[in-house]
Structure 1
Amino acid sequence: MSPEDIEPRYGFVNYAEIWNGRLAMLGIVIGLSTELLTGQGILGQIGFG
């Protein structure tokens, strides 16, 4: 198999969308955990709230 035969892994392909969903779920969990631990919302933590 040569490098020309490998399909690109960017754009709206299933591989990219799966990783996008996984990272979004991870971000939500981290954001909610931080909010529970500090008592401040995400915007308040970075100075906008």
Structure 2
Amino acid sequence: MENQENKLGFTQFAENWNGRLAMLGFVIAVATELLTGKGILSQLGIM
């Protein structure tokens, strides 16, 4: 059987995906704010 790295917890694999998804979310949030002219909180109805 091949040597399989654990994919759960604080592993390099999980941290890489966490960073990539965080960057993607940030870019989407900024683009949405630029397109609508409203901040994220006002889009959600919080402010």
Common fold, TM-score beyond 0.5?
A: yes
Q: Please, which runs of 5 or more residues in structure 2 have no aligned partner? A: none
Aligned to 1:10: 8
TM-score normalised by structure 2 residue count: 0.90
TM-score normalised by structure 1 residue count: 0.87
Q: Please, which runs of 5 or more residues in structure 1 have no aligned partner? A: none
Partners in 1 of 2:45 and 2:38 — Cα distance? Answer: 10
Aligned to 1:32: 30
Alpha-carbon RMSD across the aligned residues, in angstroms, is 1.2
**Structure 1 stretches of at least 4 aligned residues deviating more than 2 Å after TM superposition:** none
Aligned residues: 47
The percentage of counterpart residues that share the same residue type is 60
Match of residue 18, structure 2, among 10, 17, 20:
20
**Larger CA Rg, structure 1 vs 2:** 1
